[in-house]
């Protein structure tokens, strides 16, 4: 078991000091995300979701307008930005003090969200592979960047699961990209192993079993396993029946040193953090 390692992030020019694991609530302004309950395509559902995230005690809202589920529909940058704009304007109205993370692999979409709505973090599922301008844009904007591991794109990733050693290969790939980010002047990097992206069920659990090895980066570690297929395929259930499995895996991740949990069920994750932190601090 590992006690939490405090970290800092530059959030809009102010230093955030995290003395406990943070909880990031997912806001999908999409009609087709894999977990149907999380879809918020209209104003009423977005407002309700923002209120649920706030009442649950989230530290960050992660808003996405492009579904990354396998075989999801491809949409244009303008459509993605239009969806995000609707959600961002409502976040600014109903949760003005909450840190906003933009879930996008498109550099210009991220830039517009940051400049027009004050978003503070870029969460890129592709780790810079789907937009050659991403790393330079992040460096120029001076934003914290969530570097996730994925191969291919949401359409091809399920076929790209051939690894010699999944943990070692993911760490190697992320290490190369960390070097590129540093060369582009990016100072705040958050590492995400990319559970569910270009990994099969067995590989996801192998990553989880070796999560402590990601401490080699000496950077905050984000874990996003909320209601994913690694849970419901193993248990032969559905995303809707995967809350208990999510809480179990979040507990394992926290005990291995996770810094941020990205979740659909905020209140339950906040409780998980409190229980694990109380136990580890004895």
Tell me the catalytic residues: 228, 262
223 neighbors 261 (Cβ within 8 angstroms): yes
Virtual CA dihedral for 95, 101, 106, 108, nearest 10 degrees?
60
Phi, psi of 162 (to 5 degrees): -90, 110
Token pair for residue 102? 């933009």
DSSP reduced 3-state for 261:
strand
Closest CA relative to residue 152, chosen from 144, 161, 143? 161
Closest CA relative to residue 123, chosen from 222, 30, 57, 52? 222
Q: How far is CA 58 from CA 1, 32, 194, 264, 267, in A?
A: 24, 23, 21, 10, 8
DSSP state at residue 72: P
234 neighbors 249 (Cβ within 8 angstroms): no
């Amino acid at each position: 078991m590992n006690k939490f390692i405090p970290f800092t992030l530059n959030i809009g020019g102010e230093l955030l000091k995290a003395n406990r694991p943070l909880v990031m609530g997912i806001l999908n302004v999409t009609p087709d995300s894999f977990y149907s309950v999380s879809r918020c395509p209209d104003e009423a559902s977005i407002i309700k979701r923002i209120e649920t995230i706030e009442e649950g005690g989230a530290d960050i809202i992660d808003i996405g307008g492009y579904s990354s589920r396998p075989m999801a529909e491809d949409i244009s940058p303008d459509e993605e930005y239009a969806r995000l704009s609707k959600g961002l304007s409502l976040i600014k109205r109903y949760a003005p003090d909450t840190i906003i993370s933009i879930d996008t692999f498109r550099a210009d979409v991220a830039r517009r969200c940051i400049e027009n709505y004050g978003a503070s973090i870029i969460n890129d599922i592709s780790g810079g592979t789907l937009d050659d301008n991403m790393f330079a844009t992040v460096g120029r904007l001076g934003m914290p960047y969530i570097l996730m591991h994925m191969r291919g794109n949401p359409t091809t990733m399920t076929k790209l699961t051939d690894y010699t050693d999944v943990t070692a290969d993911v760490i190697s790939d992320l290490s190369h990209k960390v070097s590129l980010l540093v060369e582009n002047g990016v100072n705040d990097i958050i590492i995400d192993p990319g559970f569910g992206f270009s990994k099969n069920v067995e590989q996801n659990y192998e990553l989880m079993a070796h999560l402590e090895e990601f401490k080699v980066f000496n950077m905050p570690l984000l874990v996003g396993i909320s209601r994913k297929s690694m849970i419901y395929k193993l248990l032969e259930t559905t995303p809707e029946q995967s809350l208990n499995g999510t809480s179990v895996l979040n507990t394992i991740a926290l005990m291995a040193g996770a810094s941020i949990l990205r979740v659909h069920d905020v209140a339950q994750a906040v409780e998980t953090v409190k229980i694990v932190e109380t136990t580890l601090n004895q």
